[in-house]
Amino acid sequence: MPRRAAAFPAARAEALRPLLERLDRSLDRAARIAADPVEFPRAFRDPADAEVAGLVAVSLAYGRADLFKPVVARVLAAMGPSPARFCEAFADAPDPAAFDGVVYRFNRPPDLAALAAAIGAVRRRHGGIGRRLGALFREEGGGPAALRPALARLAAELREAPEARALLRGRGPRGLRHLLPDPAGPGASKRWNLYLRWMVRGPDSVDLGLWREVPAAALVVPLDTHVHRVARALGLTARRDASWRTAEEITAALRRVDPADPVRFDFALCHLGMSGLCPARRDPARCQACALGAGCLARARALRAGRPSGSARAGTSSPRRRRAAP
Average pLDDT over residues 244-269: 98
156 compared with 295, residue with greater pLDDT:
156
d(CA 134, CA 212): 8
The per-residue pLDDT for range 193-243, each reduced to its tens digit, is 999 999 999 999 999 999 999 999 999 999 999 999 999 999 999 999 999
State whether the Cα torsion 142-147-148-152 is positive or negative: positive
d(CA 138, CA 127): 16
Lowest mean pLDDT among 77-91, 178-192, 206-220, 291-305: 291-305
- Mean pLDDT of the residues in the chain: 91
pLDDT of residue 307: 54
270 compared with 318, residue with greater pLDDT:
270
Q: Report how far Cα 62 is from the mean position of its chain's Cα atoms.
A: 11
Contact 10, 254 (CB under 8 A): no
Average pLDDT over residues 95-102: 95
Distances (CA, A) of 58 to 38, 147, 207: 8, 18, 14
Per-residue b/e over 60-84, b at no fewer than 16 CB within 10 Å? bbbeeeeebbebbebbbebbeebbb
CA-angle at 59, arms to 119 and 227, nearest 5°: 140
Q: Where are the alpha helices (DSSP H) in 102-166?
A: 109-126, 129-139, 144-160, 162-165
First to last CA, the chain: 66
Q: What is the pTM of this model?
A: 0.90
Nearest of 203, 243, 197, 194 to residue 216 by alpha carbon? 197
pLDDT of residue 288: 87
Given a cut of 80, is residue 270 above it in pLDDT?
Answer: yes
Contact 266, 222 (CB under 8 A): yes
pLDDT of residue 22: 96
List 104's β-bridge partners, or say none: 107
Half-sphere exposure of 186 toward its Cβ, with a 13 Å CA cutoff? 2
pLDDT of residue 3: 57
pLDDT of residue 311: 34
pLDDT of residue 193: 99
How long a stretch of residues is the chain?
Answer: 326
Given a cut of 90, is residue 71 above it in pLDDT?
Answer: yes
DSSP structure class, residue 243: B
Distances (CA, A) of 270 to 62, 72, 179: 15, 20, 22
pLDDT of residue 109: 97
